[in-house]
Structure 1
Amino acid sequence: MGPWARVFCSLFLLLQVLAEPAENSDFYLAGDYLLGGLFTLHANVKGIVHLNYLKVPKCKEYEMKVLGYNLMQAMRFAVEEINNHSSLLPGVVLGYEMVDVCYVSNNVQPVLYFLAQDNYFLPIQEDYSQYVPRVVAVIGPDNSEAVVTVANFLSLFLLPQITYSAISDQLRDKQRFPALLRTMPSADHHVEAIAQLMLYFRWNWIIVLVSSDDYGRDNGQRLSERLTGHDICIAFQESLPVPQPNQVMTPEEHSRLGAIVEKLQQSSARVVVVFSPDLALHNFFLEVMRRNYTGAVWIASESWAIDPDLHNLIELRHTGTFLGVTTQNVPIPSFREFRVRRRRAGPPPRRSSQASTCNQECDQCFNTTETFNTVLTLSGERVVYSVYTAVYAVAHALHSLLGCSETGCTKEVVYPWQLLKELWKVNFTLLGHQIKFNQEGDMPIPLEVIQWQWGRNQNPFQSVASYYPTKRQLRNIGYISWHTPNNTVPLSMCSKRCQPGQRKKSVGIHPCCFECIDCLPGTFLNQSADEYDCQPCPSIKWSHRNATSCFKRRLAFLEWHEAPTIFVALLAALGFLSTLAILLIFWRHFQTPMVRSAGGPMCFLMLTSLLVAYTVVPVYVGLPTVSTCLWRLTIFPICFTVCISCITVRSFQIVYIFKMASRLPRAYSYWVRYHGPYVSVVVTTALKVAIVVGNLLTTSPSPTARADPDDSQVMIFSCNPNFRSLLLVNTGLDLALSVVGFSFAYVGKELPTNYNEAKFITLSMTFYFTSSVSLCTFMSVYSGVLVTIMDLLVTVLNLLAISLGYFGPKCYMILFYPERNTQAYFNSMIQGYTMGKD
């Protein structure tokens, strides 16, 4: 026996319990082609498991579900409208046969009945491509679990099945369910609409309640995945207990519901998303009302978003604001009157003796529908339109398959796979909406966000927003009456939003729970980059506390209009002019003993270097550039070293002539023959040039900015960021030369008066040494804008110390005591010094 034989032999026993359908107009209409309908007309609201082993449930023993009967009437209305008022199937009578599936309990029985033929047997065949079941297509059932059960049977025969409200994403798998189509968007779009609703109202701290079945678990997981990365956190997720088969809530169920509601009351989250069939919610909401839990925003999935039975619990209005996602409102003309149209008077239809089940009975359906007619009318024909659309989709597929014209159709045998092929191609307009199936078998009709209302003559399910699956956008968000004081939007946030310029510091495991910490001065918060860290401002910019951007700092440098700059410039001008005057005086009295005793030609080298050094002073003023920095870092140090080395060599030379030449005559002859003074100056200067070049190679001369320590909004623009170390390196050689020159001057303090320059050299070198050490000390403790002016001031004072301290007394003697500037006077001084030594 093959696999098909084993499958259908196991199903044969179930077919024996099938009853002959009653010719009740609510459930059966004869026709050339029959449509099967699966609807939930009865369900046990206290227990969803009714099925005993190999026994069809007695559905009418349970509560009547008015919404299910309303959907069944929509199918009847669509079929009769096509037969009576449409040229869609001219000459063809479309019939129907419907069964009450009793929620999920009665799925196998009707699907086997639809697959069987008139003899109620399902034959075992090797190839079913030429097999003709009782119906050409099946509309329904309503929930995902029941649809999966039915689709597993129908897909084996490729018998078209169109469900009107099951949204599970697993139904999009066409390899598993090739014959299944839907007249509504998938769960992905329902979850997307809920997520965008929370993003719009900035709810980032929510609670998720799911039923303990595939529907609840799958959609809860899908919502969690959708919210990941959008700063929306789930405070907790709980599974609602499934009611047991008996109609009494067990103590365990009651305790479980009480614990869930207590957890809701203790949580700071005020938005509760509920993915659950309506039957599992009655006991839960009764517990919510019993414990007086209020102030929440309840977001309903499509399974209970427009359920009139739950809405009939009037006290729910005190528990908070109810929002739900469902299909759009499409009024169907004349359907309201059809829904409450009574059957023709007459004896009840004859039923066979086998008809012992209630799957085609509904004693209270009409009366209950009349009671709820106002609510059903005001709420709009939402899911009703999905059923209405499904019937018309089958009719259009038959129209194409039968080759219908305006006058008639060819009544041929319709095989399931042929009709399924045409169903995938349908594309028509119905009540102003385009009807066609996408590649996944879904119909992306718009969804609506509705709010529950309880006012008289008020739409119980008022539309407040629209969601468009093709664009994946939530739009047209309108007025919502919130269950809050002053009708303000409820807050549901673990932490309040941080103010601009405040970073988040996580608290706990949820990213939505955080503290807000101010960004410190000098940093800013770029929310598009990172909300948890403040970014530092660039070096040339700054920011205040709680800043979201940086502003450009004010650049500080020496400017000509400032008083310190003017003072130093005047000193530099005085030094330059006095040095120039000294140079002219020395040039005019070049052959005099006073000029020769000061160094002779070497004096002009010193004076020229001083003049060049004075010309460097203006480059300290103004905005630093690469060229001005090069002048400051090269010209002045070299010129100043030339002066210091000349003074040091001159001091050594005088001491050597008077105290060491007689003892070392050969050394003195070498010193004179090989121009010892000039060689020493050249060597010292070359060493300084090497130091300067080394500094330039290791440190860029480009101007840089650094923050003013006294005012963070000010940037000090200088030539070198490592000015302290650079100053020490540049002045190290000069300091050493000044110490050596000071030592030689001190040794020669007893020389003849005209040659005794110890006090002048001592004064100059002492001033230079002291000023340099003071400047280094000042720079080590302060790095403000005064560093530049102090550096310039010390530079000018050192130049003045040499110009006036060393050469000034010589000029004074030349100009005011010419009688002392004679060879005879100098010889007498030397003779007196020699005799004194003897």
Structure 2
Amino acid sequence: MGLWARMLCSLLFLLQVLAEPAENSNFHLAGDYLLGGLFSLHANVKGTVHLNILQVPKCKEYDMKVLGYNLMQAMRFAVEEINAHSSLLPGVLLGYEIVDICYLSNNVQPVLYFLAQKDYSLPILKDYSHYVPHVVAVIGPDNSESTITVANFLSLFLLPQITYSAISDQLRDKQRFPAMLRTVPSGSHHIEAMVQLMIHFRWNWIVVLVSNDEYGRDNSQLLNQRLLSGGDICIAFQEVLPTPAPNQIMTPTEQAQLEAILRKLQQTTARVVIVFSPELALRNFFLTVLRWNLTNTVWIASESWSIDPVLHNLTELRHTGTFLGITIQRVPMPGFSEFRVRGTRDSPPPSSGTSQQTTCNQECDACLNITASFNNILTLSGERVVYSVYSAVYAVAHALHSLLGCNQTNCAKKVVYPWRLLQEIWKVNFTLLGNQIFFDEQGDVPVRLDIIQWRWDLSQNPFQSFASYHPMQRELKHIGNVSWHTPDNTIPVSMCSKNCRPGQMKRPVGLHPCCFECLDCMPGTFLNQSADEFDCQPCPSASWSHKNAISCFKRHLAFLEWQEVPTIIVVILAVLGFLSTLTILVIFWRHYQTPMVRSAGGPMCFLMLTPLLLVFGMVPVYVGPPTVFTCICRQAFFTLCFTICISCIAVRSFQIVYIFKMARRLPRAYGFWVRYHGPYVFVALMTAIKAAIIAGNMLTTTINPIGRTDPEDPNILILSCHPNYRNGLLFNTSMDLLLSMVGFSFAYMGKELPTNYNEAKFITLSMTFSFTSSISLCTFMSVHDGVLVTIMDLLVTVLNFLAISLGYFGPKCYMILFCPERNTPAYFNSMIQGYTMRKD
């Protein structure tokens, strides 16, 4: 066929199409493959009241839903647009069968009609794999309750169903509803968008009003679950709105319920009200709100009424507060505004054999006229939910394109089984008016949600978007300015309690965590808001804080330092003691065989001098921050050395008295004492007992250094060895005092001994000083705390050892160095003989 012949045939075909009359109904369109459409053109919000009579309800007797007819027109627009563009389904004509479901009242009969064959029969079969119903797919319904009812039927046949507005999370269960998909995000995303909106504006005290149906109950449950998981927002109260009759006339009981709700709204401090309800159930409510003159309220609309033009037409609502809502993204659809108000011409019934008598609720006399009266606001509001219908039809068309193996010129017309078409719908992924359309694993299209504000300024969009919520990222974006119905356009405050100042913790008041009083955090504590806003946490041991602090600062560590004057004085004394002891040790070593050294104890003198020398050399362990090693030295080394010295003095005093006064009376005991080295055994025994006391004290208390707060200045942290240091000192001192008393007693008993052996006054001096200093230290520690205790402890320790070194060994060194004539055996013998003669 030549080019001119093809052009002639095309022209004849076009003239034939133009000559045919248009369809006579908005509800029918003949085609090769039919789509079923379920829309709510009218609504009986009282529910399924028709079940008490055996007939299909007459939807046109109920109130009309302008948005329902608008959505229906979107389906017609999409089908006609696909048919006009041969690239998607070339040579294939899509048709539709649309039924008004009256919101809830007329669900089952249309589904049975869609599932039946062309002869209106629905056979009972064992296997429906090759069953061909009246339609290849169903678009709708609009609400979740009706969608669940329809999906229970269609899923048995795996007949694809794409809803454009039902958001219930129950529909995400693909085991229960394997054939149900939707072109809107689920209800959990709508709830999350609401919650993030409230968090952004710091609203944590809200009121929830719900309709007495599945829609209200499901969404309020989702909201409560979300708030329980987050804990940032509290519900002041939740009430169920009375459902009006189809004629919108309220009974006295319903009027009383509304007034009780309005009374609570007036009394509560919550200024944000979330309303989950179909739009037809809200007209009486908002008329009552206007009568009560309720103002300064933020109304947050769920998707069911967020862009309802009828409620928006109540212009006096602008005085009640600010209206915000959650809805589908705005997508302009070129040509739809003109198509929406385009009428149809009468024509014969469609060639598909369908007639108005075969179904019901496929007429709406007032739909076109009423929609035309709202056309301006519908146009200005942008195409939102209608795009969900539009994209649902295109999703089926793309699936048919794949299933029929279409190319640029034609498609293979063949029998389409529902389950095969369903498989192809799950795979679709295409771009439509700049948006990517595909179904996730729950069967949802993750399109953007818009946060809109109602505006009554005729020159602007009546439903103006100021933020968006992205289901994939689960976050609010592009938050713009809102025109608040408040003085100076300030953001309304809806909080049970005002925010606490920094450094103040919250103490709950009542049952709601959002209601609290603010208490100051005390010094030494701070408030970590990211961890716990209801409790002030104590600062770590090395840190401190002032009142109302949100963090701690490091305290000044107090310990004995080298540059301090008391430290310098004590170190000078220690150096003096070290040098004097070293001198005494050298003198005694060089005069070891002299009577003076032997009368002082002989080898036992070196047992006393060696610990004294080590003690003076270990004084630096008291200076600087304490460690485990220095604490052990303070608690063990010094007191052991002191015990060794006191034991040696005590046993030496005993030995001198025993020799001069009791040796002759108890010669065997003296021989036994000498033979078994009694002095050294006594010193070892006393040292072992002291070591056991020290070990027991260390086991019952910690050895690690700790910090204690200075009672006079909390900014200072005193570093010490352990908190029971006083108790340990008392235990250690008690044994030393006992040995001192023993040594003093024997020294006193020997006051009549020869001068060279009479050490009573020297021992008395050192022991009295040791006793007095220990008592003074314990008394000082019971009164004072801090670095002074460490200084006093070190000073007493050094002075005690100086008293032993200079008080006991000093006079003997003097005699050795300056009175050598008295350090001879002859002189000692004469002194002993003189003592013996006096005794005789």
What TM-score do you get using the length of structure 2 for normalisation? 0.88
Equivalent residues of 1:49, 1:244 under 8 A apart? no
Deviations 1:784-816 (A, max 9, x none): 111211111001111222233233344455666
Matched, 1:146 2:149: no
**Structure 2 letter corresponding to 1:281:** L
Q: Within 2, Cα distance between the matches of 1:818 and 1:356?
A: 146
3-state SS in 1 of match to 2:230? coil
The corresponding residue for 2:104 is 104
Q: Within 2, Cα distance between the matches of 1:670 and 1:422?
A: 113
Equivalent residues of 1:189, 1:472 under 8 A apart? yes
The corresponding residue for 1:523 is 525
**Structure 1 letter corresponding to 2:253:** E
Equivalent residues of 2:62, 2:246 under 8 A apart? no
3-state SS in 2 of match to 1:749? coil
Q: 2:492 aligns with which of 490, 493, 499?
A: 490
3-state SS in 2 of match to 1:38? strand
3-state SS in 2 of match to 1:792? helix
Q: Within 2, Cα distance between the matches of 1:469 and 1:402?
A: 33
Deviation at 1:69, TM superposition (A): 1.8
**Structure 2 letter corresponding to 1:223:** L
3-state SS in 2 of match to 1:474? strand
Q: Within 2, Cα distance between the matches of 1:50 and 1:316?
A: 34
Deviation at 1:242, TM superposition (A): 1.6
The corresponding residue for 2:10 is none
The corresponding residue for 2:5 is none
User: Unaligned 5+ residue runs, structure 1?
Assistant: 1-21
Matched, 1:325 2:326: yes
The corresponding residue for 1:770 is 772
The corresponding residue for 1:95 is 95
Deviation at 1:775, TM superposition (A): 1.6
**Structure 1 letter corresponding to 2:160:** P
Equivalent residues of 1:139, 1:162 under 8 A apart? yes
The corresponding residue for 2:270 is 269
Deviations 1:751-810 (A, max 9, x none): 444543322221211110111122223334444111211111001111222233233344
The corresponding residue for 1:15 is none
Q: Within 1, Cα distance between the matches of 2:593 and 2:794?
A: 36
**Structure 2 letter corresponding to 1:248:** I
Name which of structure 1's ranges 44-53 and 424-433 shifts more when overlaid on structure 2: 44-53
Deviations 1:583-620 (A, max 9, x none): 45556666666555444554444344433332222332
Q: Within 1, Cα distance between the matches of 2:46 and 2:640?
A: 101
The corresponding residue for 1:779 is 781
Equivalent residues of 2:45, 2:245 under 8 A apart? no
3-state SS in 1 of match to 2:436? strand
Equivalent residues of 2:570, 2:795 under 8 A apart? yes
Q: Within 2, Cα distance between the matches of 1:737 and 1:218?
A: 87
C-alpha distance 163-580 of structure 1, shift in aligned 2 (>3 A)? closer
**Structure 2 letter corresponding to 1:667:** A
Deviations 1:413-451 (A, max 9, x none): 444444444333333222122223333332222221111
Deviation at 1:738, TM superposition (A): 0.3
Q: Among the aligned pairs, what percent are the same residue?
A: 75
C-alpha distance 568-727 of structure 1, shift in aligned 2 (>3 A)? same
Deviation at 1:248, TM superposition (A): 2.0
The corresponding residue for 2:65 is 65
Q: Within 2, Cα distance between the matches of 1:566 and 1:542?
A: 30
The corresponding residue for 2:6 is none
Q: Within 1, Cα distance between the matches of 2:144 and 2:399?
A: 25
Equivalent residues of 1:89, 1:395 under 8 A apart? yes
Q: Within 2, Cα distance between the matches of 1:157 and 1:649?
A: 110
The corresponding residue for 2:228 is 228
Deviation at 1:372, TM superposition (A): 1.3
Deviation at 1:203, TM superposition (A): 2.7
Deviations 1:488-547 (A, max 9, x none): 333333333444444333332223333333333333444444443444333333333444
Deviation at 1:377, TM superposition (A): 0.8
**Structure 2 letter corresponding to 1:384:** V
Name which of structure 1's ranges 358-367 and 217-226 shifts more when overlaid on structure 2: 358-367
User: Unaligned 5+ residue runs, structure 2?
Assistant: 1-21
The corresponding residue for 1:33 is 33
Equivalent residues of 2:99, 2:360 under 8 A apart? no
C-alpha distance 213-824 of structure 1, shift in aligned 2 (>3 A)? same
Name which of structure 1's ranges 732-741 and 392-401 shifts more when overlaid on structure 2: 392-401
3-state SS in 2 of match to 1:566? helix
Q: Within 1, Cα distance between the matches of 2:422 and 2:143?
A: 22
The corresponding residue for 1:511 is 513
Deviations 1:6-54 (A, max 9, x none): xxxxxxxxxxxxxxxx963433333333333332223357988567612
Name which of structure 1's ranges 110-119 and 237-246 shifts more when overlaid on structure 2: 110-119
Q: Within 2, Cα distance between the matches of 1:496 and 1:304?
A: 32
Deviation at 1:263, TM superposition (A): 1.8
Name which of structure 1's ranges 327-336 and 116-125 shifts more when overlaid on structure 2: 116-125
The corresponding residue for 2:304 is 303
Equivalent residues of 2:46, 2:245 under 8 A apart? yes
Q: Within 2, Cα distance between the matches of 1:185 and 1:76?
A: 23
The corresponding residue for 1:16 is none
The correspondence of residues 57-456 of structure 1 with structure 2, limited to 5 A, is: 57-116=57-116, 131-231=131-231, 232-245=233-246, 247-343=248-344, 359-456=361-458
**Structure 1 letter corresponding to 2:445:** M
C-alpha distance 414-751 of structure 1, shift in aligned 2 (>3 A)? closer
Deviation at 1:670, TM superposition (A): 4.4
Deviation at 1:480, TM superposition (A): 1.8
Q: 1:805 aligns with which of 795, 804, 807?
A: 807
Q: Within 1, Cα distance between the matches of 2:756 and 2:165?
A: 119
Deviations 1:185-237 (A, max 9, x none): 22222222222223333333322221111111111111211222211222222
Equivalent residues of 1:50, 1:105 under 8 A apart? yes
Equivalent residues of 1:46, 1:279 under 8 A apart? no
The corresponding residue for 1:10 is none
What TM-score do you get using the length of structure 1 for normalisation? 0.88
Equivalent residues of 2:626, 2:720 under 8 A apart? yes
The correspondence of residues 326-725 of structure 1 with structure 2, limited to 5 A, is: 326-343=327-344, 359-583=361-585, 595-672=597-674, 675-689=677-691, 691=693, 703-725=705-727
Q: Within 2, Cα distance between the matches of 1:65 and 1:427?
A: 32
Deviation at 1:239, TM superposition (A): 1.5
The corresponding residue for 1:728 is 730
The correspondence of residues 40-51 of structure 1 with structure 2, limited to 5 A, is: 40-43=40-43, 49=49
C-alpha distance 363-695 of structure 1, shift in aligned 2 (>3 A)? closer
Deviation at 1:833, TM superposition (A): 5.2
Q: Within 1, Cα distance between the matches of 2:379 and 2:423?
A: 36
Q: Within 2, Cα distance between the matches of 1:826 and 1:127?
A: 133
3-state SS in 2 of match to 1:103? coil
3-state SS in 1 of match to 2:207? strand
Deviations 1:99-130 (A, max 9, x none): 33333223344334444555555566666555
Deviations 1:295-333 (A, max 9, x none): 222221111111111111112222222221111111001
Name which of structure 1's ranges 46-55 and 759-768 shifts more when overlaid on structure 2: 46-55
Name which of structure 1's ranges 373-382 and 800-809 shifts more when overlaid on structure 2: 800-809
3-state SS in 2 of match to 1:218? helix
Name which of structure 1's ranges 439-448 and 171-180 shifts more when overlaid on structure 2: 171-180
Equivalent residues of 2:585, 2:609 under 8 A apart? yes
**Structure 2 letter corresponding to 1:286:** L
Equivalent residues of 1:50, 1:245 under 8 A apart? no
Q: Within 2, Cα distance between the matches of 1:127 and 1:602?
A: 113
Q: Within 2, Cα distance between the matches of 1:112 and 1:326?
A: 31
C-alpha distance 593-480 of structure 1, shift in aligned 2 (>3 A)? same
C-alpha distance 262-594 of structure 1, shift in aligned 2 (>3 A)? same
Name which of structure 1's ranges 198-207 and 296-305 shifts more when overlaid on structure 2: 198-207
Equivalent residues of 1:46, 1:248 under 8 A apart? no
**Structure 2 letter corresponding to 1:168:** S
Equivalent residues of 2:42, 2:60 under 8 A apart? yes
C-alpha distance 318-47 of structure 1, shift in aligned 2 (>3 A)? farther
Equivalent residues of 2:626, 2:705 under 8 A apart? yes
